Amino acid sequence: MHIQIKIGDLSSLGACREALLDSELGKIYGTYEGVTTSLTAGLNNEEVFVAIDTDNSICVGYIWIDLNGVF
């Protein structure tokens, strides 16, 4: 597996949303609509970095850095 880290864009939304909704945090606090809205804003602000498996062209993870937020 070869991993590349890059700034996410809206094409990463589905994979990031799925990962967040499948996490413990997402299961407790997330809704599909809320997660979609928040991640879209983070992606548009170039705050989300995604890890891409270049062998299979799939997103294997992400990190969201919001310097003005709680997390």
DSSP H or E run through 5: strand 3-7
CA distances from 31 to 26, 42, 51 (A): 7, 16, 23
CA–CA dist 25, 59 (Å, integer):
19
Give the mean pLDDT of 11-17: 92
The pLDDT tens digits of the residues spanning 27-68 come to: 999 899 999 999 999 999 999 999 999 888 888 899 999 877
CA–CA dist 53, 38 (Å, integer):
24
List the end-to-end C-alpha distance of the chain, in Å, as a whole number.
29
Does position 69 have pLDDT exceeding 80, yes or no? no
What pTM did the predictor assign? Answer: 0.82
